[in-house]
Amino acid sequence: MTESEPESESSTPVYDLVGIGIGPFNLSLAALADGAPELRTLFLDAKPAFSWHPGLLMEGTTLQVPFLADLVTMVDPTSPWSYLNYLRHHDRMFPFFFSERFHIPRREYDAYCRWVTEGLSSCQFDAYVHQLGWDERRELFVVGHRTADGTLTRVLARQVVLGVGTNPVVPEPLRPLLADTAHTGRVLHSADYRTHRARLAACDDVTVIGAGQSGAEVALDLLRHQDGAGAGGPYVRWLARTNAFAPMEYSKIGLEHFTPDYIRYFRALPEDRREQLVREQWQLYKGVSDETLGELHDEMYERTIGGTDPRAALHPGVEIVAAEVTADEYVLTCRHAQQDAIFEIRTSAIVSATGYAASRPAFLDGEHGDDGEHGLGALVDWDAQGRYRIDGDYRVALDPGVSGRLYVQNAEMHTHGVGAPDLTLGAWRAATILNAVAGRTVLRVPERAAWTTFGVPRPGPGTDGAHPHLPAPARSAVPEENVR
């Protein structure tokens, strides 16, 4: 169908669930929904094929979570879409076993996800969603998408899940430079690092901004482009606003913040306390793996043998307050927070490894027809800061006149806590949404998963089989029949 050939109403397909975006989280939902054949599902993505953070798929980088945090295993280890089954299909089970890996290569996780998309008929790429509306008359969502060659399609959905991912964030002083194509390849977000890696390695001086894993990996990769004596390759400078380059919290008890138990506790807190907690818990999701910090230290140690300069510097507690361009370099005006001192840095290139944030997708305010359809953006019950209001089943609050259900993935840190972007909880969250969509327990999810008591303990011994120092778990409203 082309733009000049509208489809008839009777030919418009109706789905039980349409997913917008095919990243790991919506792909997890698609894989788990494959085990519920009564549901008609469709997942759409604008990209020509699956890709996951391609700018950071460097050799030697690994996931920060164990391989069990694949798309399905944490809720359904019997699924045909597990990472272990991927290995079996590619005759890699014995090599994987002998490698004794718990944290798998990031490049292989990308390949695993691509294998899943190729096996699921519900996943459709080259499908840019430009419209999401509500049809009052038919009581269905209207999803409009188009291919790269301009072919338009509309489908109807009883329920929709947004899994559009997050967008790169850069410090405000760098935004004009990033938007100007004259600086392409010299001022960039780490999401594009691999594309411009060779050009950056040829620079005299590169400044990396951001204290997280991405910043550490970019700094380490650039250091490794120096020759053995440290004379060739760029001078590498690593800046961060945090007071230290700190390791990620990875203790067995600390990781219990990535459990359904903590989500339930976090959701019950007042909004201002939730906001404060997310800021305080930065080491749970913004820290660097201890191994990567060790490798950085070892690289610089090697370069100082014999009294040579490591041609690298680490500067914590520093924020960028201004940026300007001279004839052949960039001048960054910086502030050291603890000393309240202003200083300048001159550099040949800048990599902003400053993370990602959820944003309002354009299709919420995009096109809509005149036949009783309404753009969905005006029907979302946004909070005071323009974010979704999200319940325990990841359902977005909508105008009472909308009878369909809208769900969201990885846009709920403000309501569900630091586990929102973490792969550990991906399968659990997808199963929670799937059960709500199906109106039955397609997959049983644990009611309790942590030893830690988050919140005030119940007094006295339990009488219902619960641990005496754990709050009574929330009960699902979904019936337990047909559990697989």
User: How far is the C-alpha of 132 from the C-alpha of 141, rounded, in Å?
Assistant: 7
C-alpha dist (Å) from residue 269 to 40, 308, 415, 417, 470 = 37, 53, 9, 10, 17
What is the number of H-type helices and E-type strands within the chain?
Answer: 13, 18
Reading the block at residue 119, the tokens are 């096996």
Residue 478: the pLDDT is: 38
Q: How do 330-336 and 187-189 pair as beta strands?
A: unpaired
- Tens digit of pLDDT for each residue in 352-405? 999 999 989 999 987 554 455 678 999 999 999 999 999 999 999 999 999 999
Contacts by residues 192-199 (CB-CB < 8 Å, ≥ 24 positions apart): 192/55, 193/55, 193/56, 193/218, 193/221, 193/351, 193/353, 194/54, 194/55, 194/56, 194/57, 194/58, 195/54, 195/55, 197/58, 197/221, 199/349
Residue 474: the pLDDT is: 43
Residue 310: the pLDDT is: 82
Residue 293: the pLDDT is: 94
Residue 461: the pLDDT is: 61
Reading the block at residue 296, the tokens are 């950085």
Residue 38: the pLDDT is: 95
Residue 367: the pLDDT is: 59
Reading the block at residue 213, the tokens are 């894993």
CATH 3.50.50.60: which residues of the chain?
14-167+357-438, 171-248+286-354
Asked whether the beta carbons of 464 and 448 are under 8 A apart, the reply is no
pLDDT-flagged residues of the chain (< 50): 1-6, 230, 369-370, 463-484
Q: Which fold has domain 14-167+357-438?
A: FAD/NAD(P)-binding domain (3.50.50)
Q: Give the closest residue to 76 by CA, choosing from 426, 478, 449.
A: 426
What are the φ and ψ backbone dihedral angles of 153, each rounded to 5 degrees? Answer: -140, 145
Q: For the domain 171-248+286-354, what is the CATH code?
A: 3.50.50.60
The alpha helices in 364-470, defined as continuous H runs, are 413-416, 426-438
User: How far is the C-alpha of 11 from the C-alpha of 200, rounded, in Å?
Assistant: 52
Residue 447: the pLDDT is: 80
Residue 482: the pLDDT is: 34
Residue 458: the pLDDT is: 78
Residue 368: the pLDDT is: 52
User: How far is the C-alpha of 225 from the C-alpha of 244, rounded, in Å?
Assistant: 25
